[in-house]
């Protein structure tokens, strides 16, 4: 990759306004392997101005033109697919197989879904004599995270391209290499100059400038709830649209009569997947109190079978967490669980044996967790599972809903009808019934402090569209 120390603005790779740089650290080795340029206000102003100029023409492109453009992006993405998987693995520690089969695949999946939605999306609707038309919202700012980099970049860039918006992307500075590669893909695919722009930088400089910029019409942010609040505050003075996908503390309710072995095994693996670095991970496992000991043994077996190690080793199940900051935070929360009286039944503080470097976390399980404990309240973002026993179905639902978050949830029951009944009572944007996977045609997003707006499928178009009513459009 040759553009690490440049930004992509108005269809060209350009030098940054300043000279600040940042090392990119491989979390498996704790060693820097690349360096990126860090932007400032002048870079943001230049990128936004380019996007504003391009909006005048790109917003008026036809459905056919946008279909062709997205098809071109997908073709180039496929050509550079293995490069993308390798970039993600190096920057955030995902095992190479997982980076290929899940991380890079998520990007391709979303782009493909956006293309299919665009082909039939109804931008115009006639009601009585009124035309209700949906038009591009304008210039968009995208601030994306490090944990699922291509998933979140394509969730934003894809619908923006499809609806006629122009944009400025700020990828995570912690894991920026996939974002640089994606930008090369966009350039090679022939995205018109100014439609897509990319500036690297951190939140307090580039992120805050984008959020408050008067020529940005909409900002879409994915990250922590704390940072999301800062984005919303920065955006408030210009009354721009803000879409946010934030934190989660997702409950996983196992109801009496469910297949305990299957449900616990599946839920524990999901919790540990991606080293626990997923906002929708099922981190609170709710089990009937009289089944807690059986659940512990099943979950402990999963922890023992989880291989923590080098992302390039084919035997590795999970790699390191992304950074020392995350490693230290997770260690502190594991210690808090012990100090507050939760029963440690697997894992615990420190690195796994034989791993003396790299930000590796031991797959950790706590039992006898109360919902007022820190490990049940805070998003840990590591491979840490809390088992909470309950007495009745009503208590399980109450515990599940007793959180400031409301992103995802999971319900497993002996019958689908029972799972549906409980699922309807969970205050969350998503519910997985009886182990069902996510559906890219569905809506991704949360209630409460997990954010607002929705991504994926046709629902992902809505935040990028303004609704205009043209009264008297149809002749009387």
Q: What is the pLDDT of residues 80-135, one digit of tens each?
A: 999 999 999 999 999 999 999 999 999 999 999 999 999 999 999 999 999 999 99
Query: Is 90 within a domain?
Result: yes
Specify the pLDDT at position 2: 80
Q: Which of 227, 246, 265 is the last residue of a domain?
A: 246
| Shared domain check, 278 and 179 | no
- Final residue belonging to a domain, choices 216, 246, 276: 246
Give the rounded percent of residues in the chain with a pLDDT score beyond 90. Answer: 99
- Regarding whether 231 and 256 lie in a shared domain, the answer is no
Would residue 35 count as lying in a domain? yes
Asked if 168 and 304 sit in the same domain, the reply is no
Task: Report if residue 455 sits inside a domain.
Answer: no
Which member of 245, 271, 379, 455 is catalytic? 245
**Is the per-residue pLDDT at 46 higher than 60?**
yes
167 and 117 in a common domain? yes
Question: Within this chain, do residues 293 and 423 fall inside the same structural domain, yes or no?
Answer: yes
Question: In the listed set 189, 223, 246, which residue is the last one of a domain according to the structure?
Answer: 246
Q: What is the DSSP string of 359-388?
A: S----EEEES--TTSHHHHS---SSEEEEE
Q: Which of 91, 165, 279, 455 is catalytic?
A: 279
Of 178, 140, 181, residue with least CA distance to 160 = 140
What is the pLDDT, as a whole number, of residue 85?
98
Tokens of 99: 């980076």
Residue 1 in any domain: the answer is no
Is 266 found in the same domain as 143?
Answer: no
Q: Is residue 445 included in any domain, yes or no?
A: no
pLDDT tens digits, residue range 373-386? 999 999 999 999 99
Residue 359 reports pLDDT greater than 70: yes
Q: Is the residue at 37 inside a domain?
A: yes
Mean of the per-residue pLDDT values of the chain: 98
Q: State the total domains in the chain.
A: 2
SS (H, E, C) 19-53: CCEEEEEECCCCEEEEEEECCCHHHHHHHHHHHHH
- Return the structure tokens found at 31: 């060693």
Same domain? For 241 and 280 the reply is no
CATH number at residue 329: 3.40.309.10
Residue among 453, 439, 458 at smallest CA distance from 115: 458
pLDDT above 60: residue 1: no
pLDDT at 91: 98
**pTM to 2 decimals?**
0.97
317 belongs to a structural domain: yes
Query: CA 439, CA 460: separation in Å to the nearest integer?
Result: 13
Q: What's the CATH number where 13 sits? A: 3.40.605.10
Domain range for 404 is 251-440
Do both 260 and 242 map to the same domain? no
* Judgement on whether residues 199 and 319 belong to the same structural domain of the protein: no
- Asked whether residue 393 is assigned to any structural domain, the reply reads yes
**Would you say the C-alpha torsion 470, 471, 473, 474 has a positive or negative sign?**
positive
Count how many residues are written for the chain.
476
Q: Provide mean pLDDT across the span 342-353.
A: 97
Q: What is the mean pLDDT of residues 48-70?
A: 98
Per residue in 210-255, pLDDT (tens digit) is 999 999 999 999 999 999 999 999 999 999 999 999 999 999 999 9
Answer yes or no: do 87 and 146 share one domain.
yes
How many other C-beta atoms are found inside a 10 Å radius of the C-beta of residue 269?
17
Q: What is the mean pLDDT of residues 43-49?
A: 98
Please indicate whether residue 165 is annotated as part of the active site. no
> Which 3 state secondary structure label does DSSP give 61?
coil
Is 238 in the same domain as 299? no
Asked if 245 is an active-site residue, the reply is: yes
Mean per-residue pLDDT, 428-436: 98
Quick one: average pLDDT of 405-416? Answer: 98
Q: In this structure, are 128 and 260 located in the same domain?
A: no
**pLDDT tens per residue, range 259-312:** 999 999 999 999 999 999 999 999 999 999 999 999 999 999 999 999 999 999
């Amino acid at each position: 990759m040759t553009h690490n120390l440049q930004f992509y603005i108005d269809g060209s790779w350009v030098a940054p306004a300043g000279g600040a740089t940042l090392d990119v650290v491989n979390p498996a080795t704790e060693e820097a392997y690349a360096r990126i340029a860090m932007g400032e206000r002048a870079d943001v102003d230049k990128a936004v101005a380019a996007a504003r100029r391009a909006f005048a023409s790109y917003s008026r492109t036809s459905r056919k033109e946008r279909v062709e453009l997205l098809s071109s992006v997908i073709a180039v993405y496929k050509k550079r697919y293995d490069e993308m998987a390798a970039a993600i693995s190096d920057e955030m520690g995902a095992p190479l197989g997982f980076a290929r089969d899940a991380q890079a695949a998520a990007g391709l999946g979303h782009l493909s879904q956006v293309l299919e939605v665009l082909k039939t999306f109804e931008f115009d609707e006639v009601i009585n004599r009124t035309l209700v038309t949906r038009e591009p919202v304008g210039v968009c700012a995208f601030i994306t995270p490090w944990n699922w980099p291509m998933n979140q970049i394509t969730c934003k860039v894809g619908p923006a391209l499809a609806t006629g918006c122009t944009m400025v992307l700020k990828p995570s500075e912690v894991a920026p290499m996939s974002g640089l590669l994606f930008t090369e893909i966009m350039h090679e695919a022939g995205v018109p100059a100014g439609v897509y722009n990319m500036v690297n930088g951190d939140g307090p400089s580039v992120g805050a400038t984008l959020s408050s910029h008067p020529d940005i019409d909409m900002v879409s942010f994915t990250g922590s709830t704390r940072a999301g609040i800062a984005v919303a505050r920065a955006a408030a003075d210009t009354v721009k649209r803000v879409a946010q996908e934030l934190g989660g503390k997702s409950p996983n309710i196992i109801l009496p009569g469910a297949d305990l072995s299957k449900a616990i095994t599946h839920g524990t693996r999901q919790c540990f997947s991606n080293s626990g670095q997923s906002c929708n991970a099922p981190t609170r496992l709710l089990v009937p109190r009289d089944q807690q000991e059986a659940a512990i043994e099943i979950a402990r077996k999963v922890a023992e079978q989880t291989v923590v190690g080098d992302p390039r080793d084919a035997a590795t199940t999970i790699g390191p967490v992304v950074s020392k900051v995350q490693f230290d935070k997770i260690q502190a929360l594991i210690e808090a669980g012990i100090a507050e009286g939760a029963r440690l039944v697997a894992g615990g503080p420190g690195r796994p044996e034989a791993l003396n470097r790299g930000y590796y976390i031991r797959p950790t399980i706590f039992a006898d967790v109360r919902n007022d404990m820190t490990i049940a309240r805070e998003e840990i973002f590591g491979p840490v599972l809390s088992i909470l026993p309950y007495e009745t179905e009503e208590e399980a639902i109450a515990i599940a809903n007793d959180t400031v978050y409301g992103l995802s949830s999971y319900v497993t029951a002996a019958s689908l009808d029972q799972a549906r009944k409980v699922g309807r009572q969970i205050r969350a944007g998503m519910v997985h019934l009886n182990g069902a996977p996510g559906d890219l045609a569905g809506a991704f997003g949360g209630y409460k402090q997990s954010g607002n707006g929705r991504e994926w499928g046709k629902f992902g178009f809505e935040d990028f569209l303004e609704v205009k009513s043209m009264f008297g459009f149809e002749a009387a």
